[in-house]
Structure 1
Amino acid sequence: PLPPDGETILEKVKALELLGLKRLARRELLFAARFGESPAMKLTMAEALMERGHLSQAQAIATETVKSLDAAPFSLWRLAYPKPYEQEVKAATQEWGVDPLLIYAIMREESRYDPEAISRAYAQGLMQIIPSTRDWIAEQLKIEIDPTEIFDPGMNIRLGAWYLRHLVDYFEGDLDYAVAGYNGGPGNVNKWKENPLVQEKADFFRWIGLSETREYVPKVLLSYEVYRWLEQVEGD
């Protein structure tokens, strides 16, 4: 159950919002979520953040809380691994034949579900697509894309799903190589595979030549497994 002070915080947040002080209301929720003493407090505040559209922050708090508990409740796991933009993901994955859970895993690690995310390498949007890749995909699809459209969730997910499908086909169905290629580029993956020190698949992960990609691949694959586990639990 939510502690009494949790109810007080929610009432205060609603009062601030009625006064038009939404930024201050969000700060109250964030403070309570981060420093709340009980999992129930953290979960309730994270849910309140999610309801108000602060998905990245809610997800981050839920993830931290899951890690701190020996046995986190399912609702907290689901908040840590949400499924936003369901219609856009469904449309794109049906069009290109990609597992939507893999799209969510990539989205989670690439942008933390922020449609306006921009990386230091200028990768953009939910699926973190760099401009040169965006233009190449548009050329393959024979469509014209305004540069600002990359921040539209539907367009970004559609392009990212197509590119992932391309990589899965290119690497003959190998998801490990496809995920590495999504972040590091397929050319680099081929070079890493040909490293004489790579005698078996397990060696490949150790000899990925970019530190970012070396860290990225296991994170995406782990997120993918968690998403699959959550789907299985919900289906039982």
Structure 2
Amino acid sequence: MIFRLDERLLFPAPELAEEDGLLAIGGDLSTDRLLLAYQNGIFPWYSDDEPILWYSPHERFVLYPQELKISKSMKRVLRSEPFRVTTNTCFNDVVAACSSIQREGQDGTWITDDMKAAYAKLHSEGHAHSVEVWQDDRLVGGLYGVHTGDVFCGESMFSRVSNASKTALIWLCNTGRYKLIDCQVYTEHLESMGARMISREEYIGVLHKTTA
């Protein structure tokens, strides 16, 4: 059963999600609703021609920073210092760059204009952050996401040159700020860097422990 949200600020229990993780439909992208969603392991994912869809997958693809794996070749790249890394200097530019990336199995961008506006507001209020990777003063990679407690919920990343997005993720792990990074969608290269699947129960347990 898929729940239809109204103006009330609430979500059904995540364990009631469908097999594909779809939990609810409707509602809005207000800051309060988005924060409530992330605090309970729920996130929006939809296209322009759809209503807002809210997901809580049965498994989450995550990276514990202490389990980060950096290949020998990537260590050589980092030692050569080809990039400069900043944070929160051009959040909207990072989101715009990520919006050209398509998620597997979905036509068009999932980062709609409404999503861009909602996350820009989250950023302005200190809840969403970006990591930027520069080469010769050109933005060549980065990522953005939402933090809740000690968990960073990654939304998307992009790379215009080799190793730029990896550099952003490594930088994020090395800040020591987060106990868990939610990667959401499985990719081979993130798996090679130490990301793995955990159950929704384990994921929500970490969320609630770090936000208590």
Tell me the TM-score normalised to structure 1 length: 0.24
Where is the helix percentage greater, Structure 1 or Structure 2? 1
Higher relative contact order, chain-length normalized (CA < 8 Å, sep 6+) = 2
**Greater Rg over alpha carbons, structure:** 1
Where is the strand percentage greater, Structure 1 or Structure 2? 2
Tell me the TM-score normalised to structure 2 length: 0.26
